[in-house]
């Protein structure tokens, strides 16, 4: 197939790596891509992934068989819609269904209509409303930006003043949700959806805090591992039955079919599984540990989702090994990342057995050819192993060979799992 992948992050690099591993002769193009993606496939740096009409015209002119929309911004902007109206298979929901991620309030309404278990929440549009909700729920306080926030819109704190400050910040950009605090182990589960049926991928767990021991500010994610050996065998079936299918079919009943990847951010509480959030695309960095273990061809799954064919497919198969990813971030991330600094040692890192590198924010200096860090989360080092100890050892061996002035990463990813 000729496949166009929209996006420029480590998630998109991981998707492309998975597609290439099929050795099926796919013709893959990324727009806009990054320096690492450009080493693997052709890139179209001038094709704007937020311009649905331009993307559709490119797909038609170049005979694209499948468009994969990676990040949340083009999904919420409705880039999938002009593609679908032109009959181009696209993996990613349209604007209306993407509100499942674009608006926390919309997602809560859908969950209520579908009978999906989740925490109590109040949408606030003024500081007085936010303060009243904070006091009603009590500490620990949970405040979420209602719209997209690049992984930085959620605050969980015992400090009421910090919760109020966070509310003030995001109220200037729209509403906030004040939610009930849920305690337990968090799980990320991806499910492919064709608008009616779903198929699950393998569960993963990510690490949202910047520092070891889950200290420091929330980030887009500093590492992840998969599978989760501590989950009960019935977990995935329960999520499909009580969460994924009711959600997808409620959206279908509202004439907003969800076609693409339903990301279920879950927490296992003493009262059962609860939904923390939904996203409308693959998560980063969980994608980097889920897809390397996928045995079923990813292209087959995404095309079936895009064309309404998931109902006739068996569940995807996964290798029995383990995967760990560690994110390298720039100095100052997440508040004020320092960019433009050289990255070295990537070839040495990639030489570690069973290690791949997914680029997130990298570019080539046009004058010198040097590889530069261009954003907060720079890359993900991904390692597989027969055990978590082996995968961890490989991941940290590899990331230790990479040099980025002021670079930072957690040293405790998957340390507690065996």
Domains, the chain, ranges and CATH? 2-94 (3.40.50.20), 122-179 (3.30.1490.20), 183-312 (3.30.470.20), 322-404 (3.90.600.10)
Q: According to the model, what pLDDT value does residue 133 have?
A: 87
Q: According to the model, what pLDDT value does residue 416 have?
A: 93
Q: According to the model, what pLDDT value does residue 312 have?
A: 87
Q: According to the model, what pLDDT value does residue 156 have?
A: 87
Nearest to 102 by CA among 167, 203, 172, 173: 173
In angstroms, rounded to a whole number, what is the distance separating the alpha carbons of residues 360 and 199? 27
Q: Splitting the chain (418 residues) into consecutive groups of 10 residues, what average pLDDT does each group show?
A: 98 98 96 98 98 98 98 97 98 97 91 93 87 89 80 81 90 84 94 98 97 94 98 97 98 97 96 94 98 98 98 96 98 96 98 98 95 98 98 98 98 94
Q: Are 28 and 371 in contact (CB under 8 A)?
A: no
Structure tokens at 89: 């298979």
Nearest to 256 by CA among 100, 392, 151: 100
Please tell me the pTM assigned to this model.
Answer: 0.93
Q: According to the model, what pLDDT value does residue 177 have?
A: 86
Instruction: Say how many residues make up the chain.
Output: 418
Q: 53 vs 31, 56, 77, 86, 289, CA distance in Å?
A: 14, 5, 12, 10, 33
Q: According to the model, what pLDDT value does residue 115 have?
A: 97
Q: According to the model, what pLDDT value does residue 351 have?
A: 98
Q: According to the model, what pLDDT value does residue 152 have?
A: 65
Query: DSSP string spanning 139-164?
Result: SSEEEEESS--TT-SEEEES-HHHHH
Query: DSSP string spanning 223-278?
Result: EEEE--TTS-TTHHHHHIIIIIHHHHHHHHHTT---EEEEEEEEEEETTEEEEEEE
Q: According to the model, what pLDDT value does residue 373 have?
A: 98
Residue 308 DSSP symbol: T
| Beta partners for residue 2, in sequence order | 27
Q: According to the model, what pLDDT value does residue 155 have?
A: 86
Q: According to the model, what pLDDT value does residue 148 have?
A: 74
Q: According to the model, what pLDDT value does residue 150 have?
A: 62
φ/ψ of residue 324, rounded to 5: -135, 135
Q: According to the model, what pLDDT value does residue 179 have?
A: 87
Strand order in the sheet with 322-329: 205-206, 223-226, 322-329, 377-385, 355-359
Q: According to the model, what pLDDT value does residue 123 have?
A: 86
Residue/partner pairs of 83-90 with CB below 8 Å, 24 or more apart: 83/52, 83/55, 83/56, 83/59, 86/56, 86/59, 86/60, 88/56, 88/59, 88/60, 88/64, 89/65, 89/303, 89/306, 89/307, 90/66, 90/259, 90/260, 90/306
Q: Rg of the Cα trace of the chain?
A: 20
Residue 135: CB partners within 8 Å, gap ≥ 6? none
In angstroms, rounded to a whole number, what is the distance separating the alpha carbons of residues 341 and 331? 10
In angstroms, rounded to a whole number, what is the distance separating the alpha carbons of residues 92 and 97? 9
Q: According to the model, what pLDDT value does residue 149 have?
A: 65
Q: According to the model, what pLDDT value does residue 267 have?
A: 95
Handedness of CA 65, 71, 73, 76 (dihedral sign): positive
Q: Going by DSSP bridges, is the β-strand pair 42-43/27-32 parallel, antiparallel, or unpaired?
A: parallel
Q: According to the model, what pLDDT value does residue 151 have?
A: 59
């Amino acid at each position: 197939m000729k496949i166009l992948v929209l996006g420029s992050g480590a998630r998109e690099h991981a998707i492309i790596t998975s597609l290439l591993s099929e050795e099926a002769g796919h013709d893959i193009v990324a727009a806009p891509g990054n320096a690492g993606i450009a080493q693997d496939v052709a890139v179209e740096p001038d094709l704007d992934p937020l311009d649905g009409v331009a993307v559709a015209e490119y797909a038609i002119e170049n005979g694209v068989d499948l468009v994969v929309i990676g990040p949340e911004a083009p999904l919420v902007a409705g880039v999938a819609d002009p593609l679908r109206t032109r009959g181009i298979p696209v993996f990613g929901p349209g604007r209306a269904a993407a509100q499942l991620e674009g608006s926390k309030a919309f997602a809560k309404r859908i969950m209520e209509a579908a009978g999906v278990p989740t925490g109590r929440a109040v949408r606030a549009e003024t500081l007085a409303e936010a303060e009243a909700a904070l006091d009603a729920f009590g500490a620990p306080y949970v405040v979420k930006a209602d719209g997209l926030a690049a992984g930085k819109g959620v605050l969980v704190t015992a400090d009421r003043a910090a919760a109020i400050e966070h509310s003030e910040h995001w109220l200037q950009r729209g509403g906030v949700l004040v939610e009930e605090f849920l305690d337990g182990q968090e799980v990320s589960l991806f499910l492919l959806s064709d608008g009616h049926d779903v198929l699950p991928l393998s569960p993963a767990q990510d690490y949202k805090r910047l520092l070891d021991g889950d200290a420091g500010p929330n980030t887009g994610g500093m590492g992840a591992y998969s599978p989760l050996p501590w989950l009960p065998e019935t977990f995935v079936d329960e999520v499909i039955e009580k969460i994924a299918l009711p959600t997808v079919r409620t959206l279908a009943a509202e004439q907003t079919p969800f076609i693409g990847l339903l990301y279920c951010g879950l927490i296992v509480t003493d009262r059962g599984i609860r939904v923390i959030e939904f996203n409308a695309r693959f998560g980063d960095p969980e994608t980097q540990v889920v897809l390397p273990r996928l045995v079923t061809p990813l292209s087959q799954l995404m095309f079936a989702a895009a064309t309404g064919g998931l109902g006739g497919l068996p569940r995807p198969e996964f290798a029995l090994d383990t995967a760990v990813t560690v994110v390298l971030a720039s100095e100052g991330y997440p508040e004020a990342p320092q960019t433009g600094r050289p990255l070295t040692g990537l070839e040495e890192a990639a030489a570690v057995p069973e290690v791949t590198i997914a680029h997130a924010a990298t570019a080539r200096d046009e004058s010198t050819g040097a590889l530069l860090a261009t954003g907060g989360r720079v890359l993900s080092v991904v390692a597989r192993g027969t055990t978590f100890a082996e995968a961890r050892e490989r991941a940290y061996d590899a990331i230790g060979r990479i040099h980025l002035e002021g670079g930072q990463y957690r040293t405790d990813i998957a340390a507690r799992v065996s």
